[in-house]
Amino acid sequence: MSLWQCPVCGEILTEEGRTLFCGKRHTFDRARSGYVNLLPANKKRTKDPGDNVLMVQARRSFLTKDYYKPMSDALCRIVCGYMPDKGTLLDAGSGEGYYTRNVCNALTEAGKTADVYGIDIAKCAVDAAAKSCKAADFAVASIFHLPVVNESCDVLMSLFAPYCGEEFSRVLKSHGKMILVIPDENHLMGLKKAVYDKPYANQVQNYELDGFRFLGAEKIEGEIFMDNSDDIQNLFSMTPYYYKTGREEHLRLEALKELRTETAFQILQYEKEV
Protein backbone atom coordinates (compact mmCIF):
# COMPACT_ATOMS: atom_id res chain seq x y z
CA MET A 1 0.00 0.00 0.00
CA SER A 2 1.25 3.49 -0.87
CA LEU A 3 2.11 5.92 1.90
CA TRP A 4 0.71 8.88 -0.07
CA GLN A 5 -2.24 10.68 1.44
CA CYS A 6 -4.53 13.27 -0.10
CA PRO A 7 -3.08 16.78 0.29
CA VAL A 8 -6.61 18.21 0.30
CA CYS A 9 -8.40 16.12 2.95
CA GLY A 10 -5.70 13.86 4.40
CA GLU A 11 -7.29 10.53 3.45
CA ILE A 12 -5.13 7.67 2.17
CA LEU A 13 -4.73 7.61 -1.61
CA THR A 14 -5.56 4.54 -3.67
CA GLU A 15 -4.18 4.01 -7.15
CA GLU A 16 -5.87 2.62 -10.23
CA GLY A 17 -4.01 2.81 -13.50
CA ARG A 18 -2.18 6.12 -13.45
CA THR A 19 -4.66 7.89 -11.17
CA LEU A 20 -4.48 8.29 -7.39
CA PHE A 21 -7.71 9.08 -5.54
CA CYS A 22 -9.07 9.28 -2.02
CA GLY A 23 -12.44 8.35 -0.55
CA LYS A 24 -13.70 11.87 -1.21
CA ARG A 25 -12.78 11.47 -4.89
CA HIS A 26 -9.98 14.01 -5.01
CA THR A 27 -7.90 12.73 -7.93
CA PHE A 28 -4.26 13.11 -8.97
CA ASP A 29 -2.85 11.78 -12.25
CA ARG A 30 0.70 10.59 -12.72
CA ALA A 31 2.81 12.46 -15.24
CA ARG A 32 4.34 10.62 -18.18
CA SER A 33 7.65 10.28 -16.31
CA GLY A 34 5.85 8.63 -13.38
CA TYR A 35 5.66 11.23 -10.61
CA VAL A 36 2.45 12.56 -9.09
CA ASN A 37 1.78 16.20 -8.25
CA LEU A 38 0.48 16.44 -4.68
CA LEU A 39 1.03 20.19 -4.26
CA PRO A 40 -2.32 22.02 -4.30
CA ALA A 41 -2.33 25.39 -6.03
CA ASN A 42 -3.36 27.14 -2.81
CA LYS A 43 -0.19 25.82 -1.10
CA LYS A 44 2.11 27.48 -3.64
CA ARG A 45 3.75 30.79 -2.83
CA THR A 46 4.89 31.24 -6.44
CA LYS A 47 3.87 29.79 -9.80
CA ASP A 48 6.89 27.45 -9.89
CA PRO A 49 8.25 27.06 -6.34
CA GLY A 50 11.58 25.51 -5.49
CA ASP A 51 14.76 25.28 -7.53
CA ASN A 52 14.52 26.53 -11.09
CA VAL A 53 15.51 24.63 -14.22
CA LEU A 54 19.00 26.18 -14.23
CA MET A 55 19.79 24.94 -10.73
CA VAL A 56 18.37 21.49 -11.39
CA GLN A 57 20.32 21.04 -14.63
CA ALA A 58 23.51 22.35 -13.06
CA ARG A 59 23.19 20.03 -10.07
CA ARG A 60 22.45 17.02 -12.25
CA SER A 61 25.43 17.72 -14.53
CA PHE A 62 27.77 18.24 -11.56
CA LEU A 63 26.63 15.33 -9.40
CA THR A 64 26.66 12.77 -12.20
CA LYS A 65 30.43 13.28 -12.41
CA ASP A 66 30.62 11.90 -8.84
CA TYR A 67 32.46 14.84 -7.28
CA TYR A 68 30.43 14.16 -4.12
CA LYS A 69 30.71 10.37 -4.30
CA PRO A 70 32.51 9.95 -0.94
CA MET A 71 29.63 11.62 0.86
CA SER A 72 27.07 9.67 -1.18
CA ASP A 73 28.82 6.38 -0.37
CA ALA A 74 28.82 7.20 3.34
CA LEU A 75 25.14 8.14 3.19
CA CYS A 76 24.30 4.85 1.48
CA ARG A 77 26.20 2.89 4.12
CA ILE A 78 24.45 4.67 6.96
CA VAL A 79 20.97 4.29 5.45
CA CYS A 80 21.55 0.58 4.81
CA GLY A 81 22.64 0.17 8.41
CA TYR A 82 19.42 1.63 9.76
CA MET A 83 16.96 0.22 7.24
CA PRO A 84 15.16 -2.99 8.26
CA ASP A 85 15.08 -5.87 5.76
CA LYS A 86 11.63 -4.71 4.65
CA GLY A 87 11.21 -1.01 5.27
CA THR A 88 10.14 2.36 3.96
CA LEU A 89 12.41 5.29 3.18
CA LEU A 90 11.37 8.89 2.50
CA ASP A 91 13.77 11.35 0.86
CA ALA A 92 12.39 14.74 1.93
CA GLY A 93 13.80 17.23 -0.55
CA SER A 94 14.97 14.70 -3.12
CA GLY A 95 15.90 17.18 -5.85
CA GLU A 96 16.75 15.58 -9.17
CA GLY A 97 17.17 12.19 -7.49
CA TYR A 98 20.95 11.61 -7.52
CA TYR A 99 21.15 10.53 -3.88
CA THR A 100 17.78 8.76 -3.95
CA ARG A 101 18.97 6.64 -6.86
CA ASN A 102 22.28 5.81 -5.18
CA VAL A 103 20.55 4.80 -1.95
CA CYS A 104 18.04 2.65 -3.87
CA ASN A 105 20.90 0.81 -5.57
CA ALA A 106 22.76 0.36 -2.27
CA LEU A 107 19.67 -1.05 -0.54
CA THR A 108 19.19 -3.56 -3.35
CA GLU A 109 22.85 -4.60 -3.19
CA ALA A 110 22.50 -5.02 0.59
CA GLY A 111 19.54 -7.37 0.11
CA LYS A 112 17.03 -4.93 1.59
CA THR A 113 13.47 -4.86 0.27
CA ALA A 114 12.62 -1.19 0.63
CA ASP A 115 9.81 1.05 -0.56
CA VAL A 116 11.50 4.34 -1.42
CA TYR A 117 9.69 7.65 -1.84
CA GLY A 118 10.97 11.09 -2.79
CA ILE A 119 9.43 14.52 -2.35
CA ASP A 120 10.48 17.90 -3.69
CA ILE A 121 8.61 21.13 -4.26
CA ALA A 122 10.29 21.82 -7.63
CA LYS A 123 8.35 20.08 -10.40
CA CYS A 124 11.28 20.14 -12.84
CA ALA A 125 13.46 18.39 -10.22
CA VAL A 126 10.86 15.72 -9.49
CA ASP A 127 10.36 15.07 -13.19
CA ALA A 128 14.12 14.53 -13.59
CA ALA A 129 14.19 12.26 -10.52
CA ALA A 130 11.30 10.13 -11.78
CA LYS A 131 13.06 9.65 -15.12
CA SER A 132 16.39 8.67 -13.57
CA CYS A 133 15.22 6.48 -10.67
CA LYS A 134 12.40 4.10 -11.55
CA ALA A 135 12.86 2.21 -8.28
CA ALA A 136 11.39 5.08 -6.23
CA ASP A 137 8.01 6.79 -6.20
CA PHE A 138 8.25 10.59 -6.46
CA ALA A 139 5.78 13.38 -5.75
CA VAL A 140 5.75 17.15 -6.04
CA ALA A 141 5.00 18.37 -2.54
CA SER A 142 6.18 20.63 0.25
CA ILE A 143 8.19 19.12 3.10
CA PHE A 144 6.27 21.47 5.40
CA HIS A 145 3.03 19.72 4.40
CA LEU A 146 4.08 16.17 3.62
CA PRO A 147 1.32 14.19 1.85
CA VAL A 148 2.46 11.14 3.80
CA VAL A 149 0.59 8.85 6.19
CA ASN A 150 1.37 9.20 9.91
CA GLU A 151 4.11 6.93 11.26
CA SER A 152 4.70 5.20 7.92
CA CYS A 153 8.47 5.63 7.44
CA ASP A 154 11.32 3.64 8.95
CA VAL A 155 13.97 6.08 7.75
CA LEU A 156 13.74 9.68 6.57
CA MET A 157 16.68 11.43 4.93
CA SER A 158 16.96 15.09 4.06
CA LEU A 159 19.99 16.55 2.29
CA PHE A 160 20.67 20.30 2.19
CA ALA A 161 16.92 20.91 2.52
CA PRO A 162 14.89 22.99 4.99
CA TYR A 163 14.21 21.26 8.30
CA CYS A 164 10.65 20.62 9.44
CA GLY A 165 10.86 18.67 12.67
CA GLU A 166 7.14 18.46 13.34
CA GLU A 167 6.37 16.91 9.95
CA PHE A 168 9.43 14.66 9.98
CA SER A 169 8.45 13.32 13.39
CA ARG A 170 4.84 12.81 12.32
CA VAL A 171 5.68 10.54 9.37
CA LEU A 172 8.39 8.51 11.13
CA LYS A 173 7.50 5.31 12.94
CA SER A 174 8.25 4.86 16.62
CA HIS A 175 12.06 4.82 16.96
CA GLY A 176 12.35 5.69 13.27
CA LYS A 177 15.67 7.13 12.09
CA MET A 178 16.24 10.58 10.59
CA ILE A 179 19.39 11.35 8.59
CA LEU A 180 20.28 14.96 7.78
CA VAL A 181 23.19 16.03 5.58
CA ILE A 182 24.52 19.54 6.09
CA PRO A 183 27.59 21.43 4.84
CA ASP A 184 30.39 21.61 7.40
CA GLU A 185 32.23 24.85 8.19
CA ASN A 186 34.80 24.73 5.37
CA HIS A 187 32.62 23.27 2.63
CA LEU A 188 33.54 24.88 -0.73
CA MET A 189 35.91 27.35 0.91
CA GLY A 190 38.15 27.27 -2.18
CA LEU A 191 35.21 28.31 -4.34
CA LYS A 192 34.36 31.12 -1.95
CA LYS A 193 37.95 32.38 -1.93
CA ALA A 194 37.91 32.49 -5.71
CA VAL A 195 34.73 34.54 -5.80
CA TYR A 196 34.58 36.68 -2.67
CA ASP A 197 36.96 39.21 -1.16
CA LYS A 198 35.98 38.10 2.34
CA PRO A 199 34.82 34.46 2.27
CA TYR A 200 33.03 33.18 5.34
CA ALA A 201 32.72 29.75 6.92
CA ASN A 202 29.38 27.97 7.15
CA GLN A 203 27.61 28.13 10.48
CA VAL A 204 26.89 24.72 12.01
CA GLN A 205 24.01 24.77 14.46
CA ASN A 206 23.60 22.83 17.69
CA TYR A 207 22.90 19.16 17.03
CA GLU A 208 20.05 18.87 19.52
CA LEU A 209 16.56 18.78 17.97
CA ASP A 210 13.24 18.62 19.80
CA GLY A 211 11.55 15.25 19.56
CA PHE A 212 14.69 13.40 18.43
CA ARG A 213 17.58 11.66 20.16
CA PHE A 214 20.94 12.53 18.61
CA LEU A 215 22.84 9.37 17.61
CA GLY A 216 25.97 10.90 16.14
CA ALA A 217 27.58 12.85 13.31
CA GLU A 218 29.92 11.52 10.65
CA LYS A 219 32.17 14.07 8.95
CA ILE A 220 33.17 13.55 5.33
CA GLU A 221 36.02 15.82 4.25
CA GLY A 222 37.95 15.91 1.02
CA GLU A 223 39.03 17.96 -1.95
CA ILE A 224 37.83 18.15 -5.53
CA PHE A 225 39.60 19.49 -8.60
CA MET A 226 37.75 20.79 -11.65
CA ASP A 227 39.73 21.34 -14.83
CA ASN A 228 37.02 22.99 -16.91
CA SER A 229 34.82 26.04 -16.63
CA ASP A 230 31.59 24.09 -17.19
CA ASP A 231 31.95 22.06 -13.99
CA ILE A 232 32.97 25.16 -12.03
CA GLN A 233 29.95 27.05 -13.31
CA ASN A 234 27.64 24.13 -12.56
CA LEU A 235 28.90 23.91 -9.00
CA PHE A 236 28.37 27.62 -8.50
CA SER A 237 24.94 27.58 -10.14
CA MET A 238 23.63 24.81 -7.90
CA THR A 239 24.43 26.75 -4.73
CA PRO A 240 22.64 29.73 -3.18
CA TYR A 241 25.79 31.79 -3.80
CA TYR A 242 24.85 32.11 -7.47
CA TYR A 243 21.85 34.25 -6.58
CA LYS A 244 23.53 36.23 -3.82
CA THR A 245 26.51 37.61 -5.72
CA GLY A 246 26.93 40.61 -7.96
CA ARG A 247 28.19 40.95 -11.51
CA GLU A 248 31.81 41.41 -10.41
CA GLU A 249 31.88 38.10 -8.56
CA HIS A 250 30.20 36.32 -11.46
CA LEU A 251 32.89 37.63 -13.81
CA ARG A 252 35.62 36.31 -11.52
CA LEU A 253 34.09 32.87 -11.64
CA GLU A 254 33.60 32.92 -15.40
CA ALA A 255 37.31 33.63 -15.83
CA LEU A 256 38.33 30.49 -13.94
CA LYS A 257 39.56 27.58 -16.07
CA GLU A 258 40.30 25.29 -13.13
CA LEU A 259 39.51 25.20 -9.44
CA ARG A 260 40.50 23.18 -6.41
CA THR A 261 38.23 23.39 -3.41
CA GLU A 262 37.51 21.68 -0.11
CA THR A 263 34.40 19.58 0.42
CA ALA A 264 33.13 19.06 3.94
CA PHE A 265 29.86 17.46 4.99
CA GLN A 266 28.25 16.24 8.17
CA ILE A 267 25.82 13.31 8.16
CA LEU A 268 23.69 13.75 11.27
CA GLN A 269 21.78 10.77 12.64
CA TYR A 270 18.75 10.85 14.92
CA GLU A 271 16.12 8.56 16.39
CA LYS A 272 12.55 9.65 16.94
CA GLU A 273 11.70 9.91 20.62
CA VAL A 274 8.51 8.28 21.84
87: domain CATH number is: 3.40.50.150
| Residue 17 counted as domain residue | no
**pLDDT tens sequence across 172-217:** 999 999 999 999 999 999 999 999 989 999 999 899 999 999 999 9
Check whether 250 has a pLDDT greater than 90.
no
Instruction: Evaluate whether residue 176 is within a structural domain.
Output: yes
Q: Looking at the domain assignment, is residue 96 inside a domain?
A: yes
Higher-confidence residue of 162 and 43: namely 162
Once rounded to an integer, what is the mean pLDDT over residues 149-175? 97
Domain limits for position 247: 42-272
Query: How long is the chain?
Result: 274
DSSP label at 30? B
CB atoms within 10 A of CB 4: 25
Does any domain span residue 13? no
Number of separate domains in the chain: 1
Asked if residue 241 is part of any domain, the answer here is yes
Residue 229 lies in a domain: yes
pLDDT of residue 44: 67
Q: Is the pTM of this model over 0.85?
A: yes
Q: What is the pLDDT of residues 5-58, one digit of tens each?
A: 999 999 999 999 999 999 999 999 999 999 999 998 776 666 677 788 989 999
Query: How far is residue 49's CA from residue 37's CA, in Å, rounded to a whole number?
Result: 13
244 contacts 187 by C-beta, under 8 angstroms: no
